[in-house]
Structure 1
Amino acid sequence: SPQAILRQQKLATMANMNGELVIAEKAYKTAIDLGKNSVHHSSEDFAGLAKIYSKTDAKSALKTLKDMRSLYFGNPEAELRAALLETEVFHQLADEESSMQAYQTAQKLSLELGSKAPTDLRLEMIKTSYLKGDDKAANKQLEQLIKNHADDDHFMGDVRKVLDETGNAQQGEKLIARIKKELVDINNKGVDLFKQGNITEATQVFQKAATTMPENKTIMINMVKILLHDLKSSEVSKEKIQRIQTFINKASQFGVKKEKIEHLQAQLNNLSHKINSTAS
């Protein structure tokens, strides 16, 4: 499907992952060309092409990033992708001053975007920080990323790959083990309180966890389950329903499995229907 941009983007990603750089380059170029007239255009295509060029042709990589900046002017995500790649390209050109300037720009943009940045981009920021010797910044961002995604095995595989590539596999495994234990302890504490009938205390445990780990899917789901139980056993109100709906929407946004979302949504809809029937 040469005219299907989404398939070209997928082909480019898979080819790049498998070291088929010629195929990846062609697919990225096609995706960029098709993207001019598509809602599916993405700065990731430019970044992917520039990444390939960075291995063979630094000047072409920098030109691609310049084109990306022009097309996505004012887009902080695109700017961050460009700054991270420029850090790498200028380093390869032995221009350490420009490399450090690009890295400092990337740091600033990363702080501004925060959790709004895609996880792959945040992981790339961590990798770049390690490679620039900025372990303190890398470790801080890595800890937060692991807390939010420790239950995502596929993503944790990507994390381990970065740790291995940057020579931080051993200390990274210790950090992962510590955070996973913390998550298990939090989950067990909240569930135990819930089973004992201490709904308020259980809610507080998961609410605190959700504040410090706002993207953790396990925490989100447990929070919804407890709030639904509380709603069933207490007075139903629009405020409580809205609070639960907010967590369900967030869980869906961060990729909780569709069947889990639908089951929880159905329960909430039934309770919502009851309050509406009572009101009428």
Structure 2
Amino acid sequence: MSGGTLLAERFEEQRPRLRAVAYRMLGSLGEAEDAVQEAWLRLDRHAEEVENLGGWLTTVVSRVCLNELRSRDRRREEELDTQVPDPVLAAPERDDPEAAALLGDRVGMALQVVLGTLGPAERLAFVLHDLFAVPFEEIAPLLEKSPAAVRQSASRARRRVKERAPVPDRDPVAQRGAVEAFLSAAREGDFEGLVRVLAPDAVLRSDGGALVELSRVLRGGAAIASSAAGFRALAPYARLVLVNGAYGVLTVVDGRPVSVMAFTVVEGRVAQIDVLGDPERLAALALPS
């Protein structure tokens, strides 16, 4: 076996972790893949210098992601409350090792949304330390800060996550029951049924991309229930899927995905709904069969 083949095999062993780091950092599946590919290109040029392959690749991917986040920060004039990250979809009936490797057990859509509101340094510190157990001493050179300063960044991020990301029910039966109750009430136009399944302070976030008329934020169970009547026309085309590891809904019309709804269920009621309706991003998703 040639040295190049061996190196490629060792890189492929690291790919799932690298994609997971990049996705959590960027919230974009395409950009995550680009970051991993950039790491491979750099490894191909510097392979002889690398001693700890996993650590070196994680550092490279993190640097690429950090540069992208800083670039976004400069381009963005204001925070868009309607931004929804790319969802990771899987069929509920079967195991999906690739999706499981990408998500682990901690990245529901609610958490991924909050990660998108963090500044680049806070996001890097939180993702690497809290989600991947990278020591602060190894993160510090990436941010050109002391380990103590990185610890503070992670602590600030942790507080924001705790404040803004509801902790979902882990019981899949409870998740599925709440989502199915929401769908049933929406199909029937049952306002009272929707209010019962929605938490009083529930939030719905819809990202239509270039279709700005589809982008909005609704707050409160009654407000969301009032808007759900529009779902009746699409109800025949909706099916349950796993969205970032939790039950959600994929709607496909004539073979074309028109929306993905991610549900965060807390204590048996729907606390958050994140809807991706951006046609361009939907077309790029890998749909479960």
TM above 0.5, yes or no, is: no
Relative to the length of structure 1, the TM-score reads 0.30
Q: Which structure is larger by alpha-carbon Rg, 1 or 2? A: 1
Relative to the length of structure 2, the TM-score reads 0.29
Higher helix share: 1
